[in-house]
Structure 1
Amino acid sequence: MMADLIAWVLVIAVAAYACAGGTDYGAGFWDLLAGGAERGRRPRWLIDHAMAPVWETNNVWLIFVLVIMWTGFPTMFQAVFTALWLPLVLAAVGLVLRGAGFALRKPTRRLAQRRLYGAMFAVSSLLTPFFLAASLGGVVSGRVAVGTTASADAWANPTSVVAGLLAVAAAAFLGAVFLCSDARRFGADDLIGYFRLRALFAFAAVVVLALIGLPVTHDDARYVWDGLTRGWGLLLVVLAAVCGLATVLFLLRRSYGLTRYTSVASVALIVGAWGLAQRPYLLPTSLTVAQGAGASDTLRWLAIVTVIAVVVVGPALVLLYRLSTMGELEPLTDADTGAARTPGDNL
């Protein structure tokens, strides 16, 4: 019972990171595609100001995921990091370079250095979610088990590739939706249509990749496929699709008030569907939750610490996210919003 509870805490933490961290990765994706120094000036100003208050906080969720894995399910932790050490190292390097690039780009005055740091931030925002999701694809497809040695097949397989591309597309969707609302809050009217159009394109990419992934997961990750196409797993997938379509509808109607919530719900529900589809396994189909769980006393203390964290840290995180989405922490200045307009659409 306690092991199942901690397993669901892990799934919730993964969902939180997929939504919070995914939004930041998506902003970095659009930073990469914003264009040259002059053309990309306006979008990058918005990205800098929208991300600045929360980008470090969002990585707390990843740390929480690692702590739960290491403490609560040490057998799974060892198996995953043994078989998938290379993509996980690449993801970790991407995290470091991404943070350094974002932190150093703003105060740097020289254009060449700004471009270097900006490239570090943007490229890492693309590669990090890809490698993290590719690692998850190796687990989902059953290629990771206790005793599995590291190999390219563990993460460079059809399921991993589709999962990595889906993660990038979903992050781009979240990032564009949030930036669209940020542009509206900050009064950057010319960027509302700019990011609105990109959110619609990103959702289309998610749909195409999901359709491509159907036959791939059917053949390559059959256990999880069965869980996603029946029972509660299927229900959450349907709800995720409804939330995604609702986000598109709100964007088309230029009604941005609920788009953040519906887009986040669509990603969180997909993560929840994965958790339901994979049960009772940590590593399909070789290691169950009960088999991979740590000592009962350890799990009990982990549950207590989790409750304390929710009570003590939870309200602060909610307040931080609330103030950030309301634009209270670091609003754009008149000089920022008066910068040269970016060529693009005004839809």
Structure 2
Amino acid sequence: MELTTVWFSLIALLWAGYFLLEGFDFGVGILLPVLGRDNRERRLLINTIGPVWDGNEVWLIVAGGATFAAFPEWYATLFSGFYLPLLLILVALIIRGVAFEYRGKRDDDRWRRRWDWCIFAGSLVPAILWGVAFGNIVRGVRLDEHHEYVGGFLDLLNVYALVGGLTTLVLFVLHGAVFLALKTDGEMRQRAGALAARLAPAAIVVAGAFLAWTAIAHHDAVGLVLFIVAALSLAGAAVATRLRREGWAFLATGATLVLAVIGLFVTLFPDVMPSTIADANSLTVHNASSTPYTLKVMTWVAVFFTPLVLLYQGWTYWVFRKRLSVENIPA
């Protein structure tokens, strides 16, 4: 297997891991004003992701760094053409991180409410825009013969990409609700589980429509199989939420996100950014990649350090695995 294909696959896995882990973070942030009726309950929700949210964002940094090193032409075109939406995502993530740190700095209800809304907005904006961005990457954008984006911002707001944004939004919110049902106890566990059961049908409709649209447009057999399994996994999550089997439901929503992301990358291959102007203008794993020597060095670095990162993050989740309830939050 060529190293360009290896690194395309690794980047796909990094994005799948990011959506799996940061997805429930975003879901919890969006549900903060929905499930958190008072300050104590909102603190409970924040504490469920408090030890892990910043570690989950490392997957985004590594995915971006790997793209820059392995496919610099893809990185340059992506970040110049998608400058505004990616800037909005970055600002939202910064505001969200600051809100987590500053929320408890003053004993003032108005102060806390403002930062709570910052957490909500900082979770909502990326949850939508990541789907819009990936929708445009898979659909294709206006690239000229120099592989430069020549479209405008409104071109990115096409129907397919907006459905993609709605898909990531509903999947992340469902993933977050299931996570809260798994991570909390008492009344919060019951409310989160009931909300997840109500959200599951909507997620099936929206995500199913987006995946079906993608499969019909691209006619990729492997991608179609992955999309079908992702849809079945989402249906299994709906059943598990009804039965209040939180662990199985979380595994199912996680599998849905991972399979859907990998399916999108499989559908995209060998392109990394198709052109809607002419096929010759498209960026591929070949014309967008770094030199073979660079890819070889990166591969050895990944072989040594990836297991260490996975072990450390797995250990973190194991240490903070216990359920939380309002009784664990001081008044």
TM-score by length of 1: 0.86
Change in 2 beyond 3 A, CA 1:325/1:243 = farther
Given the alignment of the two structures, is residue 259 of structure 1 paired with residue 259 of structure 2, yes or no?
Answer: no
Residue 336 (structure 1) aligns with: 329
The answer to whether the 8 Å contact 1:281/1:287 transfers is: yes
Residue 70 (structure 2) aligns with: 72
The answer to whether the 8 Å contact 1:98/1:121 transfers is: yes
The answer to whether the 8 Å contact 1:29/1:125 transfers is: yes
Q: CA deviation at 1:311?
A: 2.7
The answer to whether the 8 Å contact 1:91/1:127 transfers is: yes
> Secondary structure of the residue that 1:159 maps to in structure 2?
helix
Residue 118 (structure 1) aligns with: 116
Given the alignment of the two structures, is residue 142 of structure 1 paired with residue 140 of structure 2, yes or no?
Answer: yes
Match for residue 195 of structure 2 among 198, 222, 231: 198
Q: CA deviation at 1:290?
A: 1.4
Residue 290 (structure 2) aligns with: 294
Match for residue 268 of structure 1 among 258, 263, 268: 258
Cα distance in 2, alignment partners of residues 69 and 314 from structure 1: 19
Structure 1: stretches of 5+ with no match in the other structure? 340-347
Change in 2 beyond 3 A, CA 1:144/1:205 = farther
More deviation, 155-164/169-178: 155-164
Given the alignment of the two structures, is residue 240 of structure 1 paired with residue 246 of structure 2, yes or no?
Answer: no
Cα distance in 2, alignment partners of residues 67 and 214 from structure 1: 28
Cα distance in 1, alignment partners of residues 209 and 243 from structure 2: 29
TM-score by length of 2: 0.90
> Secondary structure of the residue that 1:134 maps to in structure 2?
helix
Q: CA deviation at 1:201?
A: 2.6
Cα distance in 2, alignment partners of residues 193 and 60 from structure 1: 31
1:24-56 CA deviation, whole Å, 9 max, x = no partner? Answer: 000011013336xxx244542321110111011
Matches within 5 A, 1:75-90: 75-90=73-88
Cα distance in 2, alignment partners of residues 335 and 176 from structure 1: 20
> Secondary structure of the residue that 1:53 maps to in structure 2?
coil
Q: CA deviation at 1:332?
A: 5.3
Partner AA of 1:313 in structure 2? V
Match for residue 305 of structure 1 among 301, 304, 312: 301
Q: CA deviation at 1:306?
A: 1.3
Cα distance in 2, alignment partners of residues 74 and 290 from structure 1: 11
More deviation, 258-267/70-79: 258-267
Q: CA deviation at 1:308?
A: 1.7
Residue 343 (structure 1) aligns with: none
The answer to whether the 8 Å contact 1:138/1:144 transfers is: no
Matches within 5 A, 1:163-174: 163-174=164-175
| Alignment length (residue pairs) | 321
The answer to whether the 8 Å contact 1:280/1:288 transfers is: yes
Cα distance in 1, alignment partners of residues 203 and 300 from structure 2: 38
> Secondary structure of the residue that 1:120 maps to in structure 2?
helix
Partner AA of 2:50 in structure 1? A
Partner AA of 1:134 in structure 2? V
1:287-339 CA deviation, whole Å, 9 max, x = no partner? Answer: 22112111111111111111122132221111112222345xxx5573528x7
The answer to whether the 8 Å contact 2:35/2:191 transfers is: no
Cα distance in 2, alignment partners of residues 244 and 214 from structure 1: 12
Partner AA of 2:48 in structure 1? A
The answer to whether the 8 Å contact 1:176/1:195 transfers is: yes
Residue 207 (structure 1) aligns with: 204
Structure 2: stretches of 5+ with no match in the other structure? none
Partner AA of 1:58 in structure 2? N
Partner AA of 2:138 in structure 1? V
The answer to whether the 8 Å contact 2:201/2:238 transfers is: no
> Secondary structure of the residue that 2:272 maps to in structure 1?
strand
> Secondary structure of the residue that 2:286 maps to in structure 1?
helix
RMSD between superposed Cα atoms in Å: 2.1
Residue 311 (structure 2) aligns with: 315
Cα distance in 1, alignment partners of residues 111 and 326 from structure 2: 24
Residue 344 (structure 1) aligns with: none
